[in-house]
Structure 1
Amino acid sequence: MPEPFIPATVIGSWSFPGWYEAFVADVAARPDRYGPADREEALRDAVRVVVGDQLGAGLDRITDGEMQRVDFNLGFYDVLEGIEPIPQARRWGAPAHDQRSKYRCVSPLSAPRGLGTVDEFRRFRLLTDAPTKMPVPGPFTLAGCIAGGDVYPDRLSVAEALVPIVNAELKALAAEGVEFLQLDEPSFACHPDAPEVFLDIVARTVEGVNAYISMHMCFGNYRARAVGWRSYRPLFPHVGRAKVNQLAMEFASRELAEVELLAELPESMDVAVGLVDVKNSWVEPPDLVADRLRTVLRHVDAARVSVTPDCGFSQTARHVATAKARAMVEGVRLVRRSLGRED
């Protein structure tokens, strides 16, 4: 079915149900306690629950909530070959990005079995035929947790090695029938100093991929904390030349700062605007979401706009995520009605 006018969707992740988070922790601590059928049953149940949350909130395009992953990207290091974990230097104290898992290359990077997202999509399709998007972390973002060791001289070289791996994964998803792909590249928003290199990496990552492609660029959300200077200005105007159909950007957490930059994008590029703040437990009233959306529409035509949270909901309490999604949907519907476009 065609999407409604100004669709309301998600970025990717959803809050883990409490029982499922406890299950995942127990599997990690006592793996021999569970057989493959036990793990599969729990995984499908978790996906079914979050699909219900999203459809119940009225979202127009949903995901599996990334229930099948560790964070939006950390689980992919388990299927990449050629790396070894680096011991964590700091485990205690206030959370920060230095507490994330890190790896070191010990041989050239490869993923002979792919990254596993095709299996994720197949499992999702067993449960629902709702419109979906499949998020896949981009090569530069994946490279952020990998030191080159004696194999690669720097992060850019690691990213270059990951380009064909991510490209192959995107092509496999498109061949499986995925029509909407999301390239998660928040690291580019935090490292905007080499725009032509950035555009070239994106172009080669999506080359030959037959699908609608969105590129998500936030400022990080590990333990609800950003990782870089929260400004999109250095990305403009060159980001408008990225070989993608849509840019997904966060605005709610920054009180719509720089929303006027959307007017600088070419008319051929769609935008997904983050209008609820995933780092905040306060639930925005629908009227506020509607006001934010009307501000966006002063800078970009409504036909090019989708509405999302700023980022994924993985770091947000489930009851808060559900309430925020409902408020976001209702705020979008208020604007649709005011424009005579309620579908």
Structure 2
Amino acid sequence: MEMKPLTTSVIGSYAWPSWFVWAVEAIRRGEFGSRDVEETLNDAVDWALREQEEAGVDIPTDGEMRRLGFFTAGFYGRLEGVRELAPERRLGVPGHDQRERYEAVEPLVAPEGLGIVAEFTYACQRTQRLLKVTCPGPFTLAGRILPGKVYHDRVDVAYALADIINAELRAVVQAGAEFIQLDEPSMAVHGGDSKVFLDLLTRTLDGIHVRKGLHLCFGNFMGRPVARRHYKPIFPSILEANVDELALEFANREMAEVEIAREIAIAGKTLAAGVVDVKNYYIETPEDIAERIRTLLKFIPPERLVIVPDCGFSQTARWAAKAKLQAMVAGAHLVRRQLGFV
């Protein structure tokens, strides 16, 4: 698949407009019928695609609007063999310890799949642009599932999920997807045995012969990271992963570790570099974006550089997400013109 120099894209999720926030709350209260829900989710996807296209994004996503959150509605709710646990904390400032938790009570299965095929099929009807299809990776999904008496540990849970995810990805490729991205923040957050991570990725992506991306961030629940933000612990081993593109966050870390871009280029991979800080309500100017891109170009050629936000926009207010996305595309175009890529 050909990628033009300084292609622009997004990581996955998009910001919710106020009407959708209101509708989702009503859906959760049981106030919508099934057709109401379908209509609302379709409209949300249409809106997310339109806003990305109006900004000029080359490779959009469906905004992950149907998932109603990164995990619960999109994935855990489709698994059988788990029971929901109470969050560790309910009161006080929002934090990762207030999130959903589950325990395995039987071997995990997803008899009706993970819903990604239907997401992709609908979105394809609503845009003429190449779509990126996103899916959480097995190690990240396993982080909210205690092994119980069924599995030995988190890695054991992850291997079970790898097979479920692989089946879903094979189905979405069969449906016509050309670009798959696994979201694996937990691999960057927790570090660990690189051989295990690589084996998990290989198992998850087995038989997937389209463009493959791997998103590695440091968490974005409530706009907050959840780890020391350093990629060095997973480098250079992660370069052995059978993916074409690594999506990494740089903007919110003031472009720290930007020299990693050189290693990625030498390995023959593309870098999707985060140049928009989704955790900050400072709205970058196009020149801010252009300056960050020029910094990256000291280490990687433009044909191996994709321009993206640090992470998804699900934790960002819609007005800010829209302005940041427009600035990102404008900054990329500015550098393209300067380099003669028009």
> By the TM > 0.5 criterion, same fold?
yes
Which residue in the other structure is 1:185 paired with? 184
CA distance in 1, matches of 2:200, 2:4: 32
Q: Unaligned stretches of 5+ in structure 2?
A: none
CA distance in 1, matches of 2:253, 2:16: 26
Which residue in the other structure is 2:332 paired with? 332
Which residue in the other structure is 1:272 paired with? 272
User: Are the aligned partners of 1:278 and 1:310 in contact in 2 as well (CA < 8 Å)?
Assistant: yes
Counterpart of 1:38, as a letter, is: D
Which residue in the other structure is 1:93 paired with? 92
Q: 1:6 to 1:268 in 2, by over 3 A?
A: same
CA distance in 2, matches of 1:303, 1:279: 28
Counterpart of 2:320, as a letter, is: V
CA distance in 1, matches of 2:35, 2:7: 37
Counterpart of 2:122, as a letter, is: R
Matched, 1:254 2:253: yes
Counterpart of 2:48, as a letter, is: V
Between 120-129 and 13-22, report the one with greater CA deviation. Answer: 120-129
Counterpart of 2:223, as a letter, is: A
Counterpart of 1:57, as a letter, is: A
CA distance in 2, matches of 1:70, 1:140: 21
CA distance in 1, matches of 2:125, 2:206: 29
User: Are the aligned partners of 2:250 and 2:256 in contact in 1 as well (CA < 8 Å)?
Assistant: yes
CA distance in 2, matches of 1:267, 1:78: 38
CA distance in 2, matches of 1:2, 1:241: 22
Which residue in the other structure is 2:37 paired with? 39
CA distance in 2, matches of 1:215, 1:3: 16
Between 89-98 and 209-218, report the one with greater CA deviation. Answer: 89-98
User: Are the aligned partners of 1:3 and 1:60 in contact in 2 as well (CA < 8 Å)?
Assistant: no
Which residue in the other structure is 1:214 paired with? 213
Cα deviation for residue 5 of structure 1 reads: 2.3
Q: 1:16 to 1:210 in 2, by over 3 A?
A: same
Which residue in the other structure is 2:162 paired with? 163
CA distance in 2, matches of 1:329, 1:128: 18
Cα deviation for residue 21 of structure 1 reads: 1.3
The superposition leaves residues 155-177 of structure 1 with CA deviations (integer Å, 9 ceiling, x where unpaired) of: 11100111110111111111100
Cα deviation for residue 311 of structure 1 reads: 0.1
CA distance in 2, matches of 1:2, 1:167: 25
CA distance in 1, matches of 2:253, 2:231: 11
CA distance in 1, matches of 2:195, 2:207: 20
CA distance in 2, matches of 1:67, 1:80: 19
CA distance in 2, matches of 1:304, 1:71: 31
Which residue in the other structure is 1:129 paired with? 128
CA distance in 1, matches of 2:72, 2:227: 19
Q: After TM superposition, list the pairs within 5 Å mapping 1:283-298 onto structure 2.
A: 283-298=283-298
User: Are the aligned partners of 1:4 and 1:60 in contact in 2 as well (CA < 8 Å)?
Assistant: no
The superposition leaves residues 309-335 of structure 1 with CA deviations (integer Å, 9 ceiling, x where unpaired) of: 000000000010010001000110111
User: Are the aligned partners of 1:215 and 1:247 in contact in 2 as well (CA < 8 Å)?
Assistant: yes
- Aligned with 1:220: secondary structure? coil
CA distance in 2, matches of 1:41, 1:258: 44
User: Are the aligned partners of 1:190 and 1:227 in contact in 2 as well (CA < 8 Å)?
Assistant: yes
Which residue in the other structure is 1:341 paired with? 341
The superposition leaves residues 95-147 of structure 1 with CA deviations (integer Å, 9 ceiling, x where unpaired) of: 11111100000100011111000011112122222221000000000000000
Q: After TM superposition, list the pairs within 5 Å mapping 1:55-74 onto structure 2.
A: 55-74=53-72
Matched, 1:139 2:138: yes
User: Are the aligned partners of 1:83 and 1:109 in contact in 2 as well (CA < 8 Å)?
Assistant: yes
The superposition leaves residues 245-265 of structure 1 with CA deviations (integer Å, 9 ceiling, x where unpaired) of: 100000000000001012122
User: Are the aligned partners of 1:284 and 1:324 in contact in 2 as well (CA < 8 Å)?
Assistant: yes
Between 12-21 and 1-10, report the one with greater CA deviation. Answer: 1-10
- Aligned with 1:103: secondary structure? strand
Counterpart of 1:284, as a letter, is: E
- Aligned with 2:113: secondary structure? coil
Cα deviation for residue 241 of structure 1 reads: 0.6
CA distance in 1, matches of 2:219, 2:330: 27
Q: Unaligned stretches of 5+ in structure 1?
A: none
User: Are the aligned partners of 2:4 and 2:303 in contact in 1 as well (CA < 8 Å)?
Assistant: no
CA distance in 1, matches of 2:332, 2:70: 26
Cα deviation for residue 202 of structure 1 reads: 0.7
Q: RMSD of the TM alignment (CA)?
A: 1.2
- Aligned with 1:120: secondary structure? helix
Which residue in the other structure is 2:26 paired with? 26
The superposition leaves residues 51-84 of structure 1 with CA deviations (integer Å, 9 ceiling, x where unpaired) of: 1111111111111111100322332000011000
Between 80-89 and 212-221, report the one with greater CA deviation. Answer: 80-89
Counterpart of 2:198, as a letter, is: L
Which residue in the other structure is 1:308 paired with? 308
